[in-house]
Structure 1
Amino acid sequence: MDTIVRVKEVEIINLKNVKKGRFLTNTSFEQMKKADIVGFYGQNGSGKTAVVEAFSLLETLLFSQGGAELPEISENLLYSGEKMIQLTFHFLIQNEYGEFFVQYYVGLSEGEKRLYVVEEELSYRENEKKKRYKNLISKKKNDITIRNKKVTNMNEDERVVVLVANKMATGNSTSFIFNEELQDEIVVKHFGEEEWRLFENLVHEFRRDLHVIKNTQYGLLIANIVMPFSVHFENKRGQIPYEMHDMMIMPVPLFETLEQVVSQTNIVLETIIPGLQVKINRISSQKTDDGSEGIRFEFLSKRGDTELPLRSESEGILKIISVLSTLVAVYNNPNACVVIDEMDAGIFEYLLGELLQVLSRNGKGQLFFTSHNLRILEVLPVQDLWFTTLNESERYIQLKGVKKLSNARDIYLRAVQLGGQQEPLYAETNLFDIKTSFRKAGAYR
């Protein structure tokens, strides 16, 4: 049986401007290979980006083996006046041992410079009636339990490994649970085969196929500084930060993979933007900084016989090209989990609607996105859409009163203007007040 890991539910507490929020996906064990598209809409500053930040924090924690550090406190992720961000991710996992619910909880507080892990817990249960969650690892400050065995009851060698791993995780602003030394020395010994496989499913399969594309990356693209070229191809995952005003030098194996990614991207690109292709202009062979063989190259856009630097294309086209490899993954790979902030930025609304409609109807993976473009509400099923509210303790809701053939866009706009949902969706504005404020501002000396 192929391994598939899907996100089922996310709970967010005290992250940015979200005091408390919770949302579900439409994935189930019966539909593990069916697309799961989840869009977030709402007023500016109402909690959409907090969803992206939650996934970004999860990505960082899962990459603790590679030394990825949690964000600096200057990013102001902790809700003002609170002491701890709390995130809970609920997963569905299907593997050779069966079907499982897996829950990962983490509590983060501010240290001197960065966030650090205060609490962390990983548990699971089988997809069978009357089965209860079993604790795999639990940490609350220095109170640590691994498979129901407290650290105080471990032999001296194991206790030293656990306590050192905990101290290193705190000092390095990484996860305790996903610490490599803890896995190698403790986890693999205390877990059963089934449990170790679930752990690997998160650390390897899910982490490998998780892509979080934040709006800060798009800002660099708009400024024509860096294009974050997302890559999801065979065993190559991640991003290549392509400097728009310079030529890149890349090791030969990675360059050859990039050529394949561009070829894959062009297959879709020419159906989205007729006549456009991305070309890699190979300039010369050159040594990289570590002395290995490399290729110096640049990206070009090609329309017929005309070739121009890729930076000459519009923001919308660059945005599409930068994320297209991950969207191909959502279409083809049931394990793909892609999170994109402000997916609509710069993209023609009709084209965006067409893309999401294709992914929703025929794709296999999961896509989470934030958007302001209401065209999407006309093409996606209403169960795929979550709306932010003015209630900081109930940030995410789905619309009531939407029938199968209803237009979610019209219902949302009516709720913005007249209310009628379980929580208010929009802080009311007044056209007369806006007009007056503009006039007063113009007269200011």
Structure 2
Amino acid sequence: MKRPLAGLALGFMLQPLMALASSQPSTHHFTLDNGLKVIVHEDHRAAVVHSQLWYRVGSNYEPSGQSGLSHALEHMVFKGSSKLCPAESDHIFQSLGATDNAATQNDATVFFQTLPPHALAVALEVMADQMSTAHLSAAHWEGEREVIKSERSESIDNDPHQRALELPRRLAFPSSAAGSPVIGWMHDLDRMHIDELKDWYQRWYAPNNATLVIVGDIDAEQVKTLATRYFGPIARRKLPAIKRPIELTAPGERIITQYMAHQIPSLSMAFNVPSLTTQTDPRQAPALELLSELLGGGDSSELKSRLWRGEELLISVGTHYNGISRGDELFSIVATLNLENLKPLDEVQARIWAVIESLKHAPPTRSDLERARTRIIAQQVFTRDDLQSLALYLGELDIAGLSPAQDEERMQILKAITPQDIQHAARTFLTRDRLTISHVLPKETRHE
């Protein structure tokens, strides 16, 4: 009798979560005459506003030999413009009780602030000036290049975990720039010239290549007036032709072994898979999302219950898949071995394969699937309730070429995914000809 009661309880939990997840936020969309897209979500619960300016350019856009251009340009935009001295925007926002920052991703560069509503006009004026009149001087670039190289050394080269993931990602994307690090390869940073940055700025920093996202205690008409005042005079520009980063469907199994000092043995397995924008069947990405949660999401997931708590082969294991992407994606499994029950990496990898194969031969139980579905829907609800997370969500959707309505369709499909859909996704996508394997071992175990 326990299983029916558990299923009944899950049903009661899902009903309010699904109802909340299906309710669309009251979000306003408009586009200026110069092509700048604006998304405004009004929420008057607290006197705070999150403003974000998204440019459709990131590391996936960069040609060979010029990795890191988008991230370097993000740094240089803060080095002065017609109205601002270098780093002056930081001081302005601090004086207003606000914070500002920026980040570069594979498909986007985003500048963002958290500020009181009365300061929004200042944020828009600053970002409009940076969009149109950034100085990009050679003298500032020479110093900022060293800052970026130091950032790369600290965040990747001196971080065994991050360094272990960098080369396998390059192998996993053999036919596109998606495998290049966002911060760039060190040798590309060494030879990057200010003229390349100026050219990149002229290509991509245009109003018709950007989306302004405003979330919080603000009126949509007020945002429209301010956006028109500060961004409206900036002329649209002809943009380069862009294509989605599409990967080889089945590049063949690839494997790399890396040796790193004082590193606990670990392994990763990354499969080339489609995203919401590249799937050929609308059930593929939602099924992969649920498959990721079933395999390595919560503590009751297959890999964690069997290999972490059960056999105690691992001290950590997790999966990752994000279907909200402009191009093809990776379905990743990352595991760190337990030194107190140390087994060869090949043996642990075989055990992970056994768990995957079990889902191919027998679909998950409905109760396991419902638990995974509940966790995903709950996370969606929490994301949309936090204003900053909601702003990021709206921006990421737009960058991927998706709308909230399309994402709601994804959620409706996710609710209808069956155990057989999960089994089909595992059989179709978790295959050796889509796989990149990385083994990481302590440097002292290497035999020259």
- The structure whose RCO (Cα within 8 Å, separation 6+) is larger is 2
State the TM-score bracket (shorter-chain normalisation): under 0.3
**TM-score if structure 1 supplies the norm length?**
0.26
Greater share of helix residues, 1 or 2?
A: 2
Greater share of strand residues, 1 or 2?
A: 1
